[in-house]
Amino acid sequence: MKQFVVVQHTYSEFLGTIENQLEKRDIGFIYFRPFVGQDLPGSAGQFDALFLLGGSHPTADREACPWVDDELRLIGVFRQVRRPIVAFGFGALLLAEHEGARISATPLHTGYWTTGHRTAAGSGDALAEAVDGRRLLVLYNGSAALPAGMEPIVVDDDGNWLAFRPQKESYGMLFRPEIKPGMIEDMIMEAKRPVPDNIGDLLAEARREWQGMEETKDRVIVALVKELDLMRERHKMPVFRLNVPDNS
């Protein structure tokens, strides 16, 4: 059975509407939660892909996110064996940092609605084509300037990067196809979580755009499955059990 690693960074942000899409395709997934002290996997040998979710702090804030270096190591492990990586928000900034982006803790919050625009670099890319002209919710903390020579495949109305593809097997997205209105409500209610001043407006727009958000999510999943070959089960290392004889 196909099995994905999903790294969760806050209680309120999970795979959301994507969970049903994976389950329909007989894809299993295991959540790892470093923000509560859970260790991340040591290898990619038992997994078929890596999903990195959103978060509530900038990736540059190592005090709030002390696990970041271990997560960057995990990205490197999956990159080395060329297994798919899909990263949203916080996760996309981490992927960008791994690829040499210049990261910053400012601005603390970025949240807005925009229209996605495929770039020349995204021409022919199924994901870029899927969101071209679509209304997108963008939500992340901090920022990352992509390294020289790495062109985004999707930008917003002002030309700011929204998605990039550093290698054939990896995508980073600052727009959030997995989010549903209920998740935004959970973000607002999450204890001690900093949220953007305009979070109420983002929620109201999400409720109005819900049908379009669902359509965009479906288009994104179909594109990811196609481009990353997510339906193919990767070779997994055997798991050995050490049987210790009972000499009592």
Question: Which domains are present in the chain?
Answer: 2-228 (3.40.50.880)
Report the distance separating Cα 96 and Cα 170, nearest Å: 11
**pLDDT on residue 243:** 58
Report the distance separating Cα 237 and Cα 234, nearest Å: 10
Question: Which positions ≥6 away from 51 have C-beta within 8 Å?
Answer: 4, 5, 6, 7, 15, 29, 85, 86, 87, 88, 91
**pLDDT on residue 224:** 97
Q: What is the pTM of this model?
A: 0.94
DSSP 8-36: --SSS-S-TTHHHHHHHTTEEEEEE-GGG
**pLDDT on residue 132:** 98
Counting as low any pLDDT under 70, the low residues of the chain are: 237-248
**pLDDT on residue 209:** 97
